[in-house]
Amino acid sequence: MNPDREKTVGMALEGVRVLDFTHVQSGPACTQFLAWFGADVIKVERPGTGDITRGQLRDIADVDSLYFTMLNHNKRSITLDTKNPAGKTVLEELVQCCDVLVENFAPGVLERMGLTWERLQALNPRLIAASIKGFGPGPYEHAKVYENVAQCAGGSASTTGFDDGPPVVTGAQIGDSGSGLHLALGIVAALHQRTSTGRGQKVTVAMQDSVLNLCRVKLRDQQRLAHGPLEEYPQYPNGVFGSSVPRAGNASGGGQPGAILRCENWETDPNAYVYFIAQAPVWDRICAVINREEWIAHPDYATPEARLPRLGSIFDTIEQWTMTRSKFEVMDVLNAYDIPGGPILSMEELAAEPSLRATGTIVEVEHPARGRHLSVGNPIKLSDSPTVVVASPLLGEHTEQILRDVLHFDRDRIAEVRSSGALGRAAELPPGPLHAASSSVETRSSSRRVR
Ligand SMILES: CC(C)(COP(=O)(O)OP(=O)(O)OC[C@H]1O[C@@H](n2cnc3c(N)ncnc32)[C@H](O)[C@@H]1OP(=O)(O)O)[C@@H](O)C(=O)NCCC(=O)NCCS
């Protein structure tokens, strides 16, 4: 048995080998999911630089950035210059022994490498060739695309923000990581279909499409608009509705009115807020909590329809109550009364949240060069395939291992490819962590090295 496979025995994607030809965020987010589920993910990188994010937004000189380390857990790295003829031959040999190729280059890049769909099929008819592009076929199909472009082109920006302000992009990376998630699902579906057809297939995801899919409720509202104003939007009843879905501020999109309300210390703490949902089934409890029992039966407040035109003043009144407590005290009361709501949590609070550490959604990972760092672990929990998060690979860390154990090259063949210049310089492991992070929270990391 290949020793590299031993540590994924029993995991959901055990035995699946992925040629990871991805970079930046969207593609790496996809292959990280596959690796978390136990696939053997081989990241092919350009010698010298590797994935461009290794050097972007560095917090420690000469150490792989957090951008890279947090998106490339549980993978192996091989450096290969695919524009070098010997490197291209190695790439094609890897295609022949992988189940899935994942890439997110600009349109046309893979074809310029000679890896057309026809060529890939000739090399390996069982190969699933998965790609992320910015746009599908249409006016922008040749465009290079980054996160915020996708958010703007997919309907998110036009529907995010306040009515009197410009379009706003969100902090959640719905274009990049959202597309990666969509692609991962497509790959798993194609792997399943292959068990009966024996054939691979193309899996393509456009970032615009992924964002639009996540904005599905806004396309719903676009159609509702033809039949009258959107009554749960803050523009109702006094504002003006145009011909397209307006920005709804922080109003709840689910038909249950909601708002972000200030809590105690909001003047100094930028996150002293709570999201409060005035859910109809618990209206009487909300009235009791805020000391407005007279609203329970009052005709202006008793029904959701009666409340709609008064939501602004209703939330103002509720806010008078939330401002007397911290957001966590507000939550204690809401939970006790089964009233839906949530605290506005800062990244600082999330990083320290014990329950997220306990479930492995926030993990501490040991990296040979940077030491211990925080990362988001696998948010998808499989009871039979638990995820152990392992540090991202150093550039080219597994080059020789992959040539030897995956492609079965002997010493002479490895020396031959190396002397061609296709592999770049041999990777050197750093002497040890340059900066060890300290934490009082229990560590949930794994020892160096994947598989
Ligand atoms: C993200 C993006 C804008 C980056 O653009 P970019 O930095 O200019 O990179 P490209 O994808 O255009 O191309 C990379 C080049 O590196 C080359 N390259 C990549 N890996 C290589 C390797 N191992 N060896 C040699 N060359 C390599 C490619 O062949 C290509 O060269 P070419 O243009 O001469 O054919 C672009 O890749 C893109 O639009 N991707 C699709 C959408 C996407 O995923 N965007 C989100 C990213 S988070």
**What per-residue confidence (pLDDT) applies to 350?**
98
The ligand 1 atom nearest the CA atom of 145: 39
Mutate to test the pocket of ligand 1, among 80, 144, 173 (most ligand atoms within 8 A of CB): 144
Q: Which CATH architecture has domain 257-339?
A: 2-Layer Sandwich (3.30)
**What per-residue confidence (pLDDT) applies to 437?**
32
Among this protein's residues, is 221 annotated catalytic? no
| Closest CA to ligand 1's atom 46 | 146
65 Cβ neighbours under 8 A, 6+ residues apart:
53, 54, 55, 56, 57, 58, 59
Whether the pLDDT of residue 450 is over 60: the answer is no
Q: Is 131 in the pocket of ligand 1 (CB under 6 A)?
A: no
| Closest CA to ligand 1's atom 18 | 46
What are the domain boundaries of the chain?
Answer: 3-213+355-419, 257-339
Q: What is the DSSP letter of 86?
A: H
Give this prediction's pTM.
0.93
pLDDT digits (tens, 9 = 90+) for 60-119: 999 999 999 999 999 999 999 999 999 999 999 999 999 999 999 999 999 999 999 999
Q: For residues 244 and 413, what is the distance between their CA atoms, to the nearest angstrom?
A: 62
Question: Which one of 4, 20, 51, 176 is the catalytic residue?
Answer: 176
Helix %, strand %, coil % of the chain (to 5): 40, 10, 50
Q: How much of the chain, in percent, has pLDDT values that exceed 90?
A: 88
Q: What angle do CA 124, 127, 131 make, to 5 degrees?
A: 130
| Closest CA to ligand 1's atom 39 | 144
- Joined tokens for residue 427: 């990777």
Whether the pLDDT of residue 406 is over 60: the answer is yes
Q: Is 82 in the pocket of ligand 1 (CB under 6 A)?
A: yes
Query: Can you tell me the mean pLDDT for 20-25?
Result: 98
Q: For residues 130 and 303, what is the distance between their CA atoms, to the nearest angstrom?
A: 50
**What per-residue confidence (pLDDT) applies to 373?**
97
Q: How far is the CA of 190 from the centre of ligand 1 (A)?
A: 25
Q: For residues 139 and 368, what is the distance between their CA atoms, to the nearest angstrom?
A: 46
Query: 102, 13 in Cβ contact below 8 A?
Result: no
Average pLDDT, the chain: 92
Q: Is 113 in the pocket of ligand 1 (CB under 6 A)?
A: yes
| Closest CA to ligand 1's atom 12 | 106
Query: 219, 146 in Cβ contact below 8 A?
Result: no
Q: Is 83 in the pocket of ligand 1 (CB under 6 A)?
A: yes
Whether the pLDDT of residue 181 is over 80: the answer is yes
Q: Is 273 in the pocket of ligand 1 (CB under 6 A)?
A: no
Query: 405, 3 in Cβ contact below 8 A?
Result: yes
428 pLDDT band, cuts 50/70/90, is low
Q: How far is the CA of 51 from the centre of ligand 1 (A)?
A: 10
pLDDT digits (tens, 9 = 90+) for 238-276: 889 999 999 999 998 777 899 999 999 999 999 999 999
pLDDT digits (tens, 9 = 90+) for 188-199: 999 999 999 999
DSSP SS3 for 289 = helix
> String of b and e for 366-394 (b: at least 16 CB within 10 Å)?
bbbbbbbbbbbbbeeeeeebebbbbbbbb
Query: 102, 30 in Cβ contact below 8 A?
Result: yes
For 82, how many CA atoms within 13 A lie in the half-sphere containing its CB?
19
Query: 386, 7 in Cβ contact below 8 A?
Result: no
Mutate to test the pocket of ligand 1, among 21, 26, 91, 105 (most ligand atoms within 8 A of CB): 105
Q: How far is the CA of 127 from the centre of ligand 1 (A)?
A: 21
Q: How far is the CA of 109 from the centre of ligand 1 (A)?
A: 7
The ligand 1 atom nearest the CA atom of 28: 48
- Collect contacts of 304-313 with beta carbons under 8 A, ≥24 apart: 304/257, 304/280, 307/257, 307/278, 307/283, 308/231, 308/232, 308/236, 308/237, 308/257, 309/236, 309/237, 311/234, 311/257, 311/259, 311/278, 312/234
**Does the structural domain 3-213+355-419 have CATH classification 3.40.50.10540?**
yes
